[in-house]
Amino acid sequence: MAYQDKEIQCADCGASFTFTGSEQELYASRGYTNDPKRCVSCRQARKAERGGSTGGFGGGMSRGPARQMFQAVCAQCGQDTEVPFEPRQGRPVYCSNCYNRVKGGR
């Protein structure tokens, strides 16, 4: 199916923008059924307000704030490592390699 460019009025700023045929094809390939309601700059501003990615068309997966990492010593090999949780006394903490070995052995 050949897609034709469409002129759409932005719901936020009221400016007219073009929803190109190639963008329509991309939307269809991703299963989107609705046309965009905002121009590119308003979409980017909205993503920034929500803390999302502002790079490029389509955005992709956005990441939230950086995760806090904690220093620990691997209970199996003794190597210094970082983990995304606060280690508790009496609970073993493993580096990535040892964790994969322990997890695979269950």
pTM: 0.45
Range of the domain at 16: 6-49
If one counts the domains in the chain, the total is 2
d(CA 37, CA 10): 6
| pLDDT confidence bin for 1, thresholds 50/70/90 | low
Give 91 or 51, the one with higher predicted confidence. Answer: 91
Tens of pLDDT, residue by residue over 4-62, are 999 999 999 999 999 999 999 999 999 999 999 999 899 998 988 887 554 555 555 55
Is 92 inside any structural domain?
Answer: yes
Is 60 inside any structural domain?
Answer: no
Distances (CA, A) of 9 to 23, 43, 102: 16, 13, 56
pLDDT over 90 (residue 94): yes
Q: Closest Cα to residue 64, out of 48, 51, 82, 73?
A: 51
Q: Are residues 40 and 10 in the same domain?
A: yes
- pLDDT at site 63: 60
Is 63 inside any structural domain?
Answer: no
